[in-house]
Amino acid sequence: MSQRTAIVTGGMGGLGEAICIKLARMGYKVITTCSPGNTKVEQWLAEMVKQGFHFSAYAVDVSDFESCQKGVAAIQAECGPIDILINNAGITRDTTFRKMDKSAWDAVIHTNLDSVFNMTKPLIDPMAERGWGRVINVSSVNGQKGAFGQTNYSAAKAGMHGFTKAAALEYARKGVTVNTISPGYIGTKMVMDIPKEVLDSKIIPQIPLGRLGKPEEVAGLVAYLCSDEAAFVTGANIAINGGQHMQ
């Protein structure tokens, strides 16, 4: 079997970086997207090389359909067919709904939800034509249960799983699985930027395991869903939240 190739959107840092590393260790060729104008790309790639990982990075605005079309075309021209897509890119613009303006709504919906359409659209049909593919959408526990101050984020993350279920039905007989994972509070920079007193008094007490998740634990779940062993899993939303929210 030839080496499979994966794209991880928003792969530089936090959860995305952990996913890139895990997939590389499993023998996949790994490509990440980054925001146009990101000045830390070369530094990050060099740091990854020091750790033994040779990734490719492409500047793609995942919130913009045309940018994704051009970016995916360039990636395929230079790297060959794409077998796996991890829709991981996301942002927050948290505020109560009363204070939320249209720009905060649009930014989150465009980056977190429109990006799933924008990146999946040019990649999933070629996967189906080859008879094998994996699309994994990184949602959130807050897309399942909601969160104060996150109407935009919760709506986008819930929408991702609606997309997953419909796309899974359409592509099930073509060898392409489409799944969602919904992490809880993971020890990434975004979460660690929350004031410690808030983490200790409000967030961790809600988690039955009594701790934040590790990026490597989420990456392990992604790796399973990418594998041949996960061929019978499609249209699923797998929670990985330490028991914080159970369905």
Catalytic amino acids?
153
Local structure of 203: helix, strand or coil: helix
Q: Return the closest-CA partner of residue 222 out of 180, 188, 185.
A: 180
CA distances from 210 to 22, 188, 200, 225 (A): 25, 16, 10, 26
Burial code (b: 16+ CB inside 10 Å, e: under 16) for 201-238 equals eeebeebeeeebbebeebbebbbebbeeebeebbbbbb
Tokens 């914080």 label which residue?
244
Phi, psi of 102 (to 5 degrees): -65, -35
* Residue 167: Cβ within 10 Å count: 22
Count CA atoms within 13 Å of residue 134 on its CB side: 26
Q: Of 70, 79, 91, give the one whose Cα is nearest residue 7.
A: 79
* C-alpha span between 236 and 218 (Å, rounded): 15
